[in-house]
Amino acid sequence: MHSSTAPTTPSHMRAAEIGRFGTAQDVFEVAENAPVPAPGHGEVLVRQRATSVNPIDCRRRGGYGHKLMKLRGIAGFPLTLGNDVSGDVVAVGPGVTGVRVGEAVFGAKEPSRQGTYAEYCVVKADQVIRKPDALSYAEAAALPYAFLSAWAALRAAGFRPETAAGKRVFLQGGSGGTGVVTLQVCKALGAHVATTAGPAGVDLCRELGADEVINYRTQDFSRQLNDFDFAICLADQAEEAKMLSILRGGPGAGYGTLVHPLMPLVDQKGLFRGGVQAAATLMSRRLAQARRRRGYGWALFKPDRAALEMLARLTGEGRVKAVIDQTYPLSDIADAQDYVERGRAKGKVVVAIG
């Protein structure tokens, strides 16, 4: 159904909220009467059908990044976590064009106090696009935040889609929720992809198209790989030196990471001292790589409409698929987060909202 006017939406909804930081089993409460947010200028209200659990959700639940969130004005309780949007637009705010009521959309929203672990969420209209017919709501929920986070790291390293063909890309942790989609996108763009995985994830990575898969339990990737254009850290910054060791020297090569000390330093030392130390650390590492004429960058999730549209096109063409390990109902969100924190998921953990 496509309509210019929204059907009547309820004033209250189910939402998984936390009222303090702590463990998943201790702090989550599924509220039955949370208020439904109203879309502001440039925003849309989405009736959520599914979302997913990302590792950052688990860390935020424990207090990670709370000082930075406070400085951005998005701290406080109750807090609804979650970033992946997958559902139907039920209302649009002023100034919205190109998104219609009744349209199925997917995307990822920036961190806020009103996340996506809820029946309804508000998101900026330019952060969602039409959901490809080839994707179910659950599949659509498994892709955007993980991909856009990794895409930011790829871009920070110097990777560009228009020059990706033939490039050699190393992805740390190819069978995790972020790795499974990033691996496929890099392959679809024509790159040669090597990755690491545990014993249970090796076959999955090969099925998804990886050219080289290193079992990190029994093999050291830094002894088997060399002359790579890009190395992307998705899981463990302790392996940074090893990842840098497999890069070639010279322009056009680079390292990008999602795992870096910016938010921990701000949490521990405050914005000024922590920020200054983080900036100094980043600068010294960039200079060290600049001597090898290589790029170096830290990345955080950021909305990227062009990248989201590319992802939608590749999924519509059947070149990228969602990999879902487990699906939990919203009422079992604590169990879903516990499962993600154990670090054994192959692909994404999805939350069905209905």
| CATH number of the domain that residue 238 is part of | 3.40.50.720
Q: Kindly state whether residue 249 falls inside one of the protein's structural domains.
A: yes
Asked if the model's pLDDT at residue 258 lies above 90, the reply is no
Q: Kindly state whether residue 306 falls inside one of the protein's structural domains.
A: no
Please give the residue range of the domain that contains residue 285: 145-298
Q: If pLDDT is split at 50, 70 and 90, which confidence band does 2 have?
A: very low
Percent of the chain topping pLDDT 70: 97
**Nearest Cα to Cα of residue 291 among 223, 244, 242:** 244
Alpha-carbon distance of 234 to 241, in angstroms, equals 14
Q: Give the chain's length.
A: 354
**Which segment of 46-55, 101-110, 293-302, 319-328 scores lowest on mean pLDDT?**
293-302
Amino acid present at 271: L
Number of domains present in the structure of the chain: 2
Asked if the model's pLDDT at residue 240 lies above 70, the reply is yes
Residue whose token pair is 């840098």: 244
Amino acid present at 259: V
Q: Give the mean pLDDT of 305-331.
A: 97
pLDDT of 202 reads 96
- The tokens of 65 are what? 């990044």
Contact criterion met (CB below 8 Å) for 171 and 232:
yes
Percent of the chain topping pLDDT 90: 77
Name residues whose C-beta falls within 8 Å of residue 306's C-beta, 6 or more positions apart in sequence: none
Contact criterion met (CB below 8 Å) for 15 and 82:
no
Considering the domain architecture, whether residues 246 and 109 belong to the same structural domain is answered as no
Burial of 199 (0-12, 13-18, 19+ CB in 10 A): exposed
Alpha-carbon distance of 192 to 8, in angstroms, equals 50
Considering the domain architecture, whether residues 134 and 163 belong to the same structural domain is answered as no
Q: Kindly state whether residue 242 falls inside one of the protein's structural domains.
A: yes
Q: If pLDDT is split at 50, 70 and 90, which confidence band does 297 have?
A: very high
Considering the domain architecture, whether residues 247 and 151 belong to the same structural domain is answered as yes
Q: What are the tens digits of pLDDT across the range 112-143? A: 999 999 999 999 999 999 999 999 999 999 99
Cis geometry, peptide bond prior to residue 78 (ω within 30 degrees of 0): yes
pLDDT of 7 reads 57
Considering the domain architecture, whether residues 255 and 337 belong to the same structural domain is answered as no
Q: What are the tens digits of pLDDT across the range 86-120? A: 999 999 999 999 899 999 999 999 989 999 999 99
Q: What are the tens digits of pLDDT across the range 166-176? A: 999 999 999 99
Q: Would you say the C-alpha torsion 285, 303, 134, 341 has a positive or negative sign?
A: positive
Alpha-carbon distance of 32 to 23, in angstroms, equals 21
Considering the domain architecture, whether residues 291 and 149 belong to the same structural domain is answered as yes
Compute how many other C-beta atoms are within 10 angstroms of the C-beta atom of residue 85.
Answer: 28
Highest mean pLDDT among 6-15, 282-291, 336-345 belongs to 336-345
Q: Kindly state whether residue 307 falls inside one of the protein's structural domains.
A: no
Distances in Å between the alpha carbon of 262 and those of 88, 233, 257?
A: 35, 15, 12
Mean of per-residue pLDDT scores for the chain: 92
Give φ, ψ of 306 to 5 degrees.
-60, -40
| CATH number of the domain that residue 85 is part of | 3.90.180.10
Considering the domain architecture, whether residues 180 and 92 belong to the same structural domain is answered as no
- The tokens of 68 are what? 């930075």
Chain centroid to CA 300: 9
pLDDT of 64 reads 84
Considering the domain architecture, whether residues 196 and 60 belong to the same structural domain is answered as no
pLDDT of 65 reads 80
Considering the domain architecture, whether residues 88 and 217 belong to the same structural domain is answered as no
Burial of 224 (0-12, 13-18, 19+ CB in 10 A): exposed
Considering the domain architecture, whether residues 276 and 160 belong to the same structural domain is answered as yes
pLDDT of 70 reads 82
**Which segment of 160-174, 262-276, 316-330 scores lowest on mean pLDDT?**
262-276
Alpha-carbon distance of 266 to 273, in angstroms, equals 7
Considering the domain architecture, whether residues 50 and 184 belong to the same structural domain is answered as no
Alpha-carbon distance of 128 to 328, in angstroms, equals 23
Considering the domain architecture, whether residues 203 and 93 belong to the same structural domain is answered as no
177-188 helix and 144-157 helix, angle to the nearest 10 degrees: 60
Distances in Å between the alpha carbon of 269 and those of 22, 65, 205, 265, 273?
A: 21, 12, 39, 6, 6
H or E segment and range at residue 264? helix 262-290
pLDDT of 274 reads 74
Asked if the model's pLDDT at residue 254 lies above 70, the reply is yes
Q: Kindly state whether residue 282 falls inside one of the protein's structural domains.
A: yes
**Nearest Cα to Cα of residue 170 among 249, 227, 238, 250:** 227
Q: Kindly state whether residue 310 falls inside one of the protein's structural domains.
A: no
Q: Kindly state whether residue 201 falls inside one of the protein's structural domains.
A: yes
Q: What are the tens digits of pLDDT across the range 38-83? A: 999 999 999 999 999 999 999 999 998 887 788 778 788 999 999 9
Alpha-carbon distance of 3 to 10, in angstroms, equals 18
Amino acid present at 151: W
pLDDT of 265 reads 65
Alpha-carbon distance of 247 to 70, in angstroms, equals 38
Q: Kindly state whether residue 50 falls inside one of the protein's structural domains.
A: yes
Considering the domain architecture, whether residues 120 and 162 belong to the same structural domain is answered as no
pLDDT of 226 reads 96
pTM equals: 0.91
